[in-house]
Amino acid sequence: MLAELLNLFVCEVSAARFLREVRWAEGIRCPYCSSEAIIKWAWYRRVYQRYRCKACRRTFNDKTGTIFAYSRIPLNEWLFLAYLLGCLHISILKASRELGRSYGAVYRSARKMMYAIHRFRRRLWGSRKLTGDVEMDEVYVKAGLKGGGNYWRILSLGRKPRYRGLKAERGRGSWKKDMPPIIILVERRGVERYIPSTDVEKRTIEKIVSRHVEPGSRI
């Protein structure tokens, strides 16, 4: 099993073959119209199989519609990054050194990866309430630098990002103070929930608990 896992990291060809077998295990479907009338249509970068849909006449490849699409990092490095972050719990900075990539490129890939994982978790567990022993706490997130999406571009221009005009006051943070609380619900040996809240008043917490926790559970 370990040898097969390491083989995915050797070259992009083996990683692409693995992606093709996993994604199209139940047959090839068009990611645009879900049609099964598909024919092979040459190759993409000589690694990924390209296809053409007879219904909508659009072309796609093995990576179309996934988090790997349009990424400059090869698929085998993507999988190796997932192994470093998910299994070995290595920091993004150390992972960038292991891959020989810039911190910014690895950070963007890791962010896309974590977003995909959380989106999968929400689809899997979103309709179920937490049960049993549920731990609950809050953390206050302070609104920070402006233009977070353009952070690396701003630094490349030679200037520092501007700070928000925070309305910081004494006491607990709130939505109006630009320091909203994030309510964290963790089911023992189960799933996690992160809920942004306007405040931590009793009536607000009771609404969150009734919406996400099954009656009779111990908090």
Q: To 10 degrees, what angle do helices 103-125 and 75-86 make?
A: 70
Q: To 10 degrees, what angle do helices 75-86 and 92-99 make?
A: 140
Q: Tell me how long the chain is.
A: 219
Q: Report pLDDT for 2.
A: 47
Q: Which residue has the tokens 């960038």?
A: 96
Separation between Cα atoms, residue 42 and residue 27, nearest integer Å: 18
Instruction: Indicate the burial class of 45 (C-beta count within 10 angstroms; 0-12, 13-18, 19 or more).
Output: exposed
Give me the residue spans of the domains in the chain: 2-125, 134-212
**pLDDT tens digits for range 20-58:** 988 998 899 999 998 999 999 999 988 999 999 999 999
Separation between Cα atoms, residue 85 and residue 31, nearest integer Å: 29
pTM of the model: 0.49
Judged against a pLDDT cut of 80, whether residue 190 lies above it is answered with no
Query: Cβ–Cβ contacts within 10 Å for residue 209, how many?
Result: 18
Judged against a pLDDT cut of 50, whether residue 205 lies above it is answered with yes
Evaluated on CA atoms 62, 66, 67, 71, the torsion sign reads: positive
**pLDDT tens digits for range 140-189:** 876 655 555 555 555 566 666 555 555 555 666 666 666 788 899 998 87
**pLDDT tens digits for range 94-105:** 777 777 777 777
In contact, 101 and 76? CB cutoff 8 Å: no
Judged against a pLDDT cut of 60, whether residue 106 lies above it is answered with yes
Separation between Cα atoms, residue 39 and residue 61, nearest integer Å: 11
